[in-house]
A and B are shown apart, each in its own frame.
Chain A
Amino acid sequence: MRDDPIALQLPWLKPAIERMPDKPVVLRITGLTKWFGDVCVLDGIDLEMREGEVLGLIGPGGVGKTVLVKICCGLLEPDAGEIEILGQILSELKEKQRQLLRERVGLVFQNYALFDFMTVGENVAFPMRQRGGSSPEEIAAKVQERLSEVDLPKVGNLMPNELSGGMKKRVGLARANINDPELIFFDDPTAGLDPVTSSKIFHLIRKTQSHRNSTCLVISHDIDRMRPACDRYILLYEGKVHFSGNEGEAMRATDPIVCEFFRRDEGKK
């Protein structure tokens, strides 16, 4: 990474491994490349996440943030590069082993992806029921606990189409958390939500993370509201990691693209 010309221009671009040296690496991406036809969406992405870290992944629309997350979850195959999640190299795993790994990883989808043929309670219970080993009473209790955590204790019997967008996001969060995953990906969890609900969602993410010491990667465009939730940011630009650092480093940056993202208000003045 240090040989990268952009990294040389931006001295605060340091690998995460140098920032939190005591914590084990939960996610390590090396040289990740993804093409769609003639378009190179991700061009040699390198990044690392340490245990307990909340990483904000930002960048302009269409830069490949969701693609990156989907590749990490094994939903898309990369064209090149290596991904190590929770100590396992993704490309070396067979489908059955990937399924076992996915039980330790959560994903909250941008457009909720709640199962519309199930009630909210069944949606949240579903991953736990499928994993097995828990009695119906245990599942019901945990579902109630997770729904209470997201301030939706009374919606278990409703269908997803009876909920508002913000409520669906929170149900998605509860579902992703039901099996206590060690690593959670949030794909634009506040897309289309009002500012108050967005703040609540980010507060929930931080609260969930601190309760369980899970590691979270959050995609969002709403930098102002995601600030309290994130320890560090990665800015993707033109398929590459353009910036990696905490809020202070971002605010001190002179790079125009970083400024554009983090100090838009100053630009307007």
Chain B
Amino acid sequence: MKAVAAIGRKFLEVSDTVGGITLTMLRILRGVARLSFDRDETWLNLFKVGVKSYPIVIMTALFTGAIMVIQSGQYVKQTGATGLLGWGAGYAVLAEVGPVLIGLMFSGRVGANNTAELGTMKVTEQLDALRALAIDPMQHLVVPRFLAMVLMLLLLTALGDLFALIGGALTSQFILDVNWQVFFNGVFDSHLLPEYLVGLTKGVTFGASISVVSCFYGLGVSGGAAGVGRAVNNCVVTSAIGIFVWDYIITYIAN
């Protein structure tokens, strides 16, 4: 009986979370559709979310491309099919590994930070202060963050793809002794545009998913500093799950 009760409680908890995230998403989309959001705050968030994330995304992407080339390099060298190196690394990076790893980095850096910021504002009554000053936190804080995260993760994914290919080319040149031009020829001759577009679609979707999840947990904080810590933890875990679920759905639809 206790086990059934525990299962029931867990089911209600999960339903509560899923319902809350869905409602948050609908409220955000309504704000976007009505163009009712703070422009200045959106510009500020584009800077905070995007510009400050470039270094970590470039670093992640360079190593991702390099690792893909090293992984596939063993087989390529054995078979002598160096032309396939660019295709293999490019396919994996553009369609799958690049967006997913950049999304995970983004959720750890930006999503967690967003939850902590909103959560701290909640526990210090700054959100109530906004409402008391006749300012809707959704318009002023949440929708700008959503727009910034979606747009910036799209751009960061595009940038990350570029640097992942550069990382792959450098590795192929200096580690595998395969000319970088051969690597890039492999990438461009493989007509990877559909994979590239699928990857960008994933970037947009992951950005939306991370922003909605991080805002949901941030706005729902209760219980002081410990509550903020729990919310950040929940945000990172749920964002990661969201990334893999959306990755599965988009990959399934695209194929």
Contact = CB atoms under 8 A, between A and B. Distances in A.
Interface stretch (B129-137, B186-194, B209-217, B229-237): B129-137
Contacts of B136: 95, 99
Contact of B126 (A70, A102, A115, A131): A115
A109 interface: yes
B125 interface: yes
B195 interface: no
Contacts of A106: 132
Interface residues of A, number: 25
Contacts of B96: none
A75 B136 CA distance: 12
Interface string B79-107: 00000000000000000000000000000
A126 interface: yes
Contact of A113 (B128, B134, B140): B128
Given A109-B125, A111-B124, A103 B134 contact: yes
A217 to B, nearest CB: 13
A185 to B, nearest CB: 9
Contacts of B131: 73-75, 102
A127 B133 contact: yes
Contact of A70 (B128, B134, B135): B128
A157 interface: no
Interface in A222-265: none
Interface string A111-131: 101111000000000110011
The secondary structure that dominates the A interface is mixed
A100 interface: yes
Contact of A130 (B121, B128, B132, B134): B134
Interface residues of B, number: 13
Query: Max chain A CB contacts within 10 Å: which of B125, B129, B131, B133?
Result: B133
Nearest to B140: A130
A100 B133 CA distance: 10
A106 B133 CA distance: 7
Nearest to A75: B128
A1 B125 CA distance: 34
Given A111-B124, A113-B124, A100 B129 contact: no
27 contacts: A73-B131, A74-B131, A75-B131, A75-B132, A95-B136, A99-B134, A100-B134, A101-B134, A102-B131, A102-B132, A105-B132, A107-B129, A109-B128, A109-B129, A109-B132, A113-B125, A114-B126, A114-B129, A115-B121, A115-B129, A116-B124, A116-B126, A126-B133, A127-B134, A127-B135, A130-B133, A130-B134
Interface of A: 70, 73-75, 95, 99-103, 105-107, 109-111, 113-116, 126-127, 130-131, 175
Given A75-B131, A113-B126, 19 more contacts: A70-B128, A73-B131, A102-B131, A102-B133, A103-B134, A106-B132, A107-B129, A109-B128, A109-B132, A110-B125, A111-B124, A111-B125, A114-B126, A114-B129, A115-B126, A115-B129, A116-B124, A116-B126, A127-B135
